[in-house]
Structure 1
């Protein structure tokens, strides 16, 4: 079952973040990740959430998502992201009811 990484990214240093933005897609692709949405316009319909830059990446399953997230190649980029942005990230299994 597919799994989704959903991130709300508030970039604090665009120059440093650029390396992350440039290099991360190749690491995700190695684990079967593909972008569903990346940095498009948002519109809050309910609640008091004020998202910044939203990203949704689909992986084949939660194991692939976590393997990527814990990988050494992403670890290097994660350190860059942590220096250049504030993020909220969740992983969501894509269960679709079959009633």
Structure 2
């Protein structure tokens, strides 16, 4: 069975809100078997253009678990905080 992967490209708007979000989101991921695999900031752009310098990669047991996490009441309650904290593009992948 293929894992479900969430890749988030992020541009922080509020460092304080971002810190709160980062503190609270792991508790919403764990019940769905998810884990934060990588968080980082771009060192430099090698090709193309990037206006979202931060990235996060989450792994779930499968795409259905990822989608269930995203739709969960626990995560949905964090979306107003996320929107205050940063702009983002969130993509779900299977592989």
In structure 1, stretches of 5+ residues that fail to align are 95-99
Q: Conserved in 1, the CA contact under 8 Å of 2:7 and 2:57?
A: yes
Q: Conserved in 1, the CA contact under 8 Å of 2:21 and 2:85?
A: no
How big is each residue's C-alpha offset from its partner over 1:48-91, in whole Å with a ceiling of 9 and x where there is no partner?
23441100000001100000001000011122001121001100
TM-score w.r.t. the length of structure 1 is: 0.85
CA RMSD of aligned residues (A): 1.5
How big is each residue's C-alpha offset from its partner over 1:1-60, in whole Å with a ceiling of 9 and x where there is no partner?
101000011110111222111010111111111122112554433322344110000000
Query: Larger C-alpha radius of gyration, 1 or 2?
Result: 1
TM-score w.r.t. the length of structure 2 is: 0.88
Matched residue count: 94
Which runs of structure 1 show a deviation greater than 4 angstroms over 4 or more consecutive aligned residues?
Answer: 40-43
In structure 2, stretches of 5+ residues that fail to align are none
